[in-house]
Structure 1
Amino acid sequence: MGTVYALLTGINAYPADRCTPLTGCLNDIEAAEELLLRRAGGRLDVRKLLNSDATVNAVETAIRGHLGQAGPGDTALFWFSGHGTEQPAIERVHLDIEATGRYQALVCTDGLLVDKRLGALLNEVAAGGVHTVAVLDCCYAGGATRGRHLTPRFASPDPAWFTAAARDARIPEQPAKHVLLAATRLDQPSYEGRFGGRTLGLFTYALLGALRAAGPAATYRELHAAARSRLLVSCEYQRPTLAPAEPGGVADQPFLGGAGAREPSRYLLSQDQRDGWQVDCGSGHGLPSGPGTEFRVTRPDAPGRAHEQAATPGRTVRAVTVGPERTLVEPVGWAPETAQVYPVALSALAVPPASVALSAPGDPATARVLERAVAEAGPGGGPSPLLRLVGQPEDAGELLFRVEAREGLAHVLRRDGSPFVAPLPLAGSEDADRVAACLVHLTRWHRLRDLEAPFGPLTEQVRLEVTPWGSDVPLLLDGSGEVVCQYGLGPVGPVPPLVSVRIRHRATGGRRLWCVLLDLTDSYAAHTGLFDDGRFVGPGHTAYALDNRPVQLSLPPHRPLRPGAFVRDWLKLIVCEGELNTVPFHLDRWDPLTPLGSRDTVLRHADGVLRFDAPERNSRDARPAEAGGPGQWATQTVQVRTVVPQW
C-alpha cells in the first residue's frame, strides 16, 4: 500500500472583527491525526495548517505541493475544521453554476476558498490516479467540493471576500474525482459541542467514533451511515453528506483506499510484570470504560500457536482500567499461569450511562422532584447505572438528555434543542417517575442501536443486505446514509414496499456463526423476530429473514399515509461464534400511557452491562450450547427509511 499524504487544517482563532472564534477545531485535528497514525502508521505523511497559518494561499499551495506529491497507489486526504459560509449569487454566470442560487465556501483566516475552487484543486490531485478524500467539518460543507448549547461553524463574511473570490465560481463544473465526507448538506449549518469536557465538531466526533469501530475494509458509504447515525443523537438538524454516492464508485471503496479486510489476531490475555494481567484491547478499539466489562477465555483460533495456552473455556477476567491500547484486568475465580498467554473474547460490555441535564427555571421544587426520580430510576428504586446527572450540558458524554420543565410539561431534548419524544406531563411525583422511566427506555434503545463491536476476526465475514422483493441486487445506502424504500400507488391507495432481508456468510471455510437480527424502530422499540431470535449460518451460505418470505415495510397505524410521511428502522446484525441470549434485546415501543408498574420488566435488563451469554436451556431443549459461549462477535447496522412519495 502507498503513502497517505494528509493535509489537516483547523482554525479556532478567527479575527474577531470578521467572525466568531471557535474552540473545537484544533481538537478535531489532534484527534484526526491520532486516528490516522493508528490507521496508517509509517505510511502517513502529514502536514498541518493551524489558525493564522491557514490562509487561502497556504491551503491552495499545500494542496498542490503536499497532496500533489501523491502518485498512483497513494492516498491524499484534505481535512478542514473551521467556519463555512454562503452568499447569494447575483451575476447571471454565477447563477448558472450555483443551482442553489448561493455560493458556498470554506473560511480561511484571511478570506474564502470557494467550493468549486477547492473541488478543482482536489480533482487535479486525483487526476494522477491518486485516491483522494476530503473531510469537511464546517457549515454548508455538502456543497464544498461539488465541481443553543452548540456553537455553529458559520461565518457572515466581509462582502469584500466574495468580490475577491468571485472568479473562482467561473470554474466549469466537472465530475468529482474525489470522495467527500461533509458535515452537512449544502444548505445547513454545522455545530461543535462539548463531550466529556472537550469541545469537538459534532461531525468529527461522530466520524472518528465510526472509524474506530470499523474494520479496514469499511467503505465511505458505510462510515458515512455510521457517523450520521451517531450525530443524530446530538443534533436533528445537521445531516452529513456523502458525494459522489453513485453505486460502484469511490463511495464503495475502503477508507483511505485500503486493500480490503485483514485477519487480525484474537485479543490476548497476558501478564505485565509491573501492572499485572492485561488484555490487548482498549478505548482505541472502541471499548468503553466503566465497571462491568469482562473477557472470556476461548480456544486458540489455530493449531500451532503454542504461546496461547487454552485454559478452560469460559473462565473470565474483569476490566479494572481501560486504556487507549490495553485493558488492565483481574481474573474472576481462577489464577492464570504466570508467563502464559490466553486467547480471550469480549463477553460482557459496560454500557456507558447517558447524561441528564435538568432545568426548571424559577421552580426549584420541580427540579428536586425530577432529581429524586432520576436518582431512583434503577432496579429496586436505587440509582440507575444508565443515567448520570450532570450540572451543565457541556459536561455531558455522547448521549445527552436535556430535560427542561416548562408550563407543566417536561421536554426531553437533544443537544440542539430538538425533541426525542413528545412533551410529557409534569404535575407531580408520579409524572416525574414517568419522565425518569422514559430516560431509561431511551437510553436502552440508543445503546442497542449504537452497539458496535471492536474490530475483530468476524467483522468482514458476514454481511446484512436488503433487496427489493424479487430482485437479487442489494439496495445501497444513499448520500444521506440510508436505504430508501417508497410506497407504490395501487388501485385503492398506497401500497407498502416489500423487501428481502438476507444474511450472507461470505467466508469459504471455517465454522458456522450465530446471527441475531434486531429491528429497532423510530418508536423506540426493538425486537428479534425477523430471524427467529437468532440462528446459525454456515460458511458460504445465505439465510433470509422470515424464512425468505417478503418483509413488508410500512408506517405504523398511528401515522397517517400522506405524501412525505416516513418511518425509520435500524436493522442491526449481531454475529457471534456461539449462541447469544436475546432477551435483553427486546424493548416495547415507548408509550407514555403504559402503567409505571410494568417498567419492572424493563429494569431487569437495565443494569448497565450487556452480557453475551448463551441462552438459558430448558429440559426439553436438546440443542447443545457452543463450548466457551459466544466468543468473538461483530455488528453491522443498515438504516432503512420507508417513504410515502409525492404523487
Structure 2
Amino acid sequence: MSTVYALLVGIDDYSAHGEQSLRGCLNDVAAVEGWLRRRTGDRLRLRVLRDGEATVAAVTDGITRHLGRCRTGDSALFWFSGHGTRFPVELPEDVRKEATGWYQALACADRPLVDRQLGALLNEVAAAGGHTVAVLDCCYAGGGTRGGRLAARFLPPPPGWAVRRDAPADGPHPAPGQPRHVLLAASRLDQLAREDLVGGRTHGLFTHALLGVLGSDAHRTATCREVLAAAHARVQIATDAQHPVLYPHHPGGPADRPFLGAAAAGPPAPHLLRFGREGWEVDCGGVHGLRPGARPGSPAGTEFTVTGRSPAEVPRTVRAASVRQDRTLVRATGWVPDPERTYPVTLSALELPPAAVTVEAEGPGPAGLLDDALRTAGPDGGPSPLLRRATPADPAAGLLLIRLRAAAGRVGILRRDGSAFVAPLPLGGPADARRVAACLVHLARWHQIRDLENPAAVLGSPVRVEVLPPDGGEESLYPGDGSRELVCAYTRTATGWRAPRLSVQLHNRSHRTLWCALFNLTDSYRSHSVLFPGDFIGPGRTGYALDGDPVQLSLPPGRAPRPGAAVRDWLKLVTAEGELNTVPFHLDALDPDAETHRAAAGTGADGLLRLTSPDRDDRDLGPAPDRRGPGEWTTYTLSLRTVVP
C-alpha cells in the first residue's frame, strides 16, 4: 500500500523579526493534519513544524530526511503557511536566473528559504519516483500594505537577510520526462496572499479554499490541475485580488496526477468548467483567440463540451455568454452543473479563422475519400473547426491554404506555391484519408500558434528579443527588427561539423514588470516552451533562455550535417501584463503515419488556443494592479535558419 509522507509548516509568530504576527497559519496546519488523517489513515507519515521550530535547517531536514523517504508509488506533501518575502538579487551567479531582480522566499523562523533552493530540494525528493506536491499559502510581495480585514502574508525582509552562500545548491534542471514536483501557490507574482476569519477561526483564503475542494467527494480523485482550478474559483468568490497558480503546467506532467497518488489520472483536461465569482465560467478567453460572435453559418457560436463521457451518453455542453480576456462566462444548455464540481471540457465550436483546404483528385473515388475524412475530422466526429473546404477559385479563404493533390494512390499535402508540407501519403482507403485529415488539423493548429497576433495590441514592443554569441559577447547577431530572420551556420572543424550556439535574451525595455514566454516552433511542426517557459521580467531587466546556458541550434536526429542541409525554427514571444498558461501552445511533432494525434485529443487541434490555469509559480513582487486576468498582450516572431554551408 502506498505511503503518504507529509511535512506541514505553520508560522504565526514573527515577533522576533519585529513584525506583526499572523493568526491563521497554525489553524491551517491543524486543519490540513485533520484532513490528511481522515483521508490516509495509517498510511500517513507526518512531521509538523510550528512557529520557532520552523527554521531553515529544520525545514531543509524535513524535506531531505522525511519527505526524502518517498519512493515510487508513494506521495510526498510539503505544506507551508506563513509569511513570504523578497529581497534584491545579490549573488552574481543568480543574476541570469532571477529576471525580476528579486529573490522570492519563504520567511522561516530564522531566515529566508529562497524558492529556487526549495525547488531543488523538492526536485530531489521527486527524483526518487514518488509523486511530490508542494502547497505554499504565502506571498512573495513587496510594497504591499495590510488593509481592511484581510491580512497579507508578506514579511518585509529584516536587515541582514540574504542568500547564504552555503545554502543548498539549485542543481541541474531536470531533463524532460524526469520526475518533478508540482506546486500549488496561493497567488501569482503581482498579488498578495491573504488570510481572513472563516467560521470563527482565521485561515489562509487559499488553504480554506483548497481544503474545501479536497474534502469534497466530487474531487476525491481530481488531478492537481482540477483541484487548483476549483480552489481558484473559491478564492475568487472571496476576493478578485488573489489568483492561485499551478506549476509546472505542461500537459501530461505531475499536474495531471491526483493530488495524493502516484498513478496518472489519464489524459490532461484541455479546459475546466467551474463555478466562479460571476457564475459558471471556462478558463479560456479572448487572449487565446476566442471571439465573442458566431461565425456565419455557425449559429451555436463558441461552445464547450464536457469530456470523459461515454459515447452513448448525451453530450453536456455550455455556450459562451461573454468572452473575457482570461475566461469565458458560459450558460449550460439542457443540464444543470453541480457547483461543487469542476468539469473537464473541450471546445466544440471555435471562432478562429479556419485553414482553407482544396482537393484536386483524379476521379471521384479519391475525392470522395478525402471529402468524407474532412467532414469527420473534428473531435466529435463532425467537421473540424480548424478546416474549411474551399475551391481553387477561393484561395484567400482561411488562415492558410492547404492543397490536396491525389493521384495514383497517393496524396500530396501542398502549400499555396506547390511545395510540400510533408512527403506524399498513401491514399488507399478511409484509414489513409483519416491520417491525411489528422495531418491537416495539426498543420492548421501549428500555423495558428506561429501566426498568432493581437490586432488590438496597445503594448507595442516592450520586450526585445536579442540573439548574442554564447561567450558573453555584446554584439547582437540579430537586433530585433528588419527581416526578422537570422541565418546561423555550422562551422567546419578538424573533427567534423560544429553546430552553432547562441545566447537568447529578452530585454524588458518598459517601466513595468511584464510576463513573457518564448515558444520554439520547429519545421517538424512541433511547438514547445523549453527555452523560456514563462516568467515575469522586471522593468529594465533581462530574461535569459535556458537560464543563460547556450542555446544550440542543430539539425534534428536523422539529418546528417552535409553541405546544403538546413532547418528552420521560429521563436514566438508572447508578452502580457499578467501571466498566461503555456499549455495551449504545446504540440508534438507531426507524425504523418498517425490516424489521430495527441494534439487532436488534448491540446488544441479541435480548434483553439487553450487557457486552463496560470503556469508558473510566480508570486507577488508589488501591490496588485487594478486589473483582472492577463490584461494587454502582444506577440513577436523571429525566424532562425540553421544551415550547413
Q: Give the TM-score, by structure 2 length.
A: 0.46
**Larger relative contact order, structure 1 or 2 (CA cutoff 8 Å, min sep 6):** 2
Report the TM-score when normalising by structure 1.
Answer: 0.45
